[in-house]
Amino acid sequence: MSSTVPDLGDTEQLKTLLEDVASPDQLRELLDAPGVDDAMIDGFVAAVGAEGVLDKVFGLMGEHFVAERAGNDAGVIRWDVTAPGGTLSYGLSIRDGAAIGERGAPDGPKVTLTLSVPTLLRLCAGRLNGVQGFMTGQIKLSGDMMFGAKLPGWFDY
């Protein structure tokens, strides 16, 4: 991974950069590069496509879910993510020792989280504490607050 700011005009380079992200450490490295701010993140997402970025993020969530931390808790989380071009919904199902993310609004979520793409990426990289994000208004939560509060602890950052 390179810790330099990517050229937002080079879509192929950006897509390769996205494909290469396989861990929260690598995501953190990108977010910590000099000059990376919300506008830069939104530009990256606009250049490579919000669906591609979010598909990658929600796929990685499943790989970094630690079932033992969740115990017997289970449920579906709806994520409404504000991206360049509009809001996209994703579902994350926690059950049977796994977390499975998929595109689209799930039926009957236990909790709904509303946040921007930069906030989601910082949360997934361990650069934003979920409770702090909620308290500062970066993350809006509706539904089962206790379930939502426990959710960040179930992933390996």
pLDDT (tens digit per residue) in 20-46: 888 888 999 888 888 889 998 999 899
Measured distance CA(35)–CA(66) in Å, rounded: 32
pLDDT > 90? residue 99: yes
Q: What is the mean pLDDT of residues 138-152?
A: 95
pLDDT band at residue 4 under the 50/70/90 scheme? low
pLDDT > 60? residue 87: yes
**pTM for this predicted structure:** 0.89
Helices (H), the chain: 11-20, 24-31, 38-48, 50-63, 67-70, 117-124, 130-135, 145-150
User: Which residues span the domain enclosing 95?
Assistant: 1-156
pLDDT band at residue 64 under the 50/70/90 scheme? very high
pLDDT band at residue 12 under the 50/70/90 scheme? confident
- 4 or 137, which is more confident? 137
Measured distance CA(22)–CA(150) in Å, rounded: 24
Specify the CATH number for the domain of residue 49. 3.30.1050.10
Q: What is the mean pLDDT of residues 47-67?
A: 93
pLDDT band at residue 16 under the 50/70/90 scheme? confident
- Give the long-range contacts of residues 22-29, CB within 8 A, separation 24 or more: 22/60, 23/60, 23/64, 24/60, 24/64, 24/124, 24/125, 24/126, 24/156, 24/157, 26/1, 27/121, 27/124, 27/125, 28/125, 28/126, 28/127, 29/1, 29/3
Contact 52, 15 (CB under 8 A): yes
Please state the domain count of the chain: 1
Q: Residue count of the chain, please give it.
A: 157
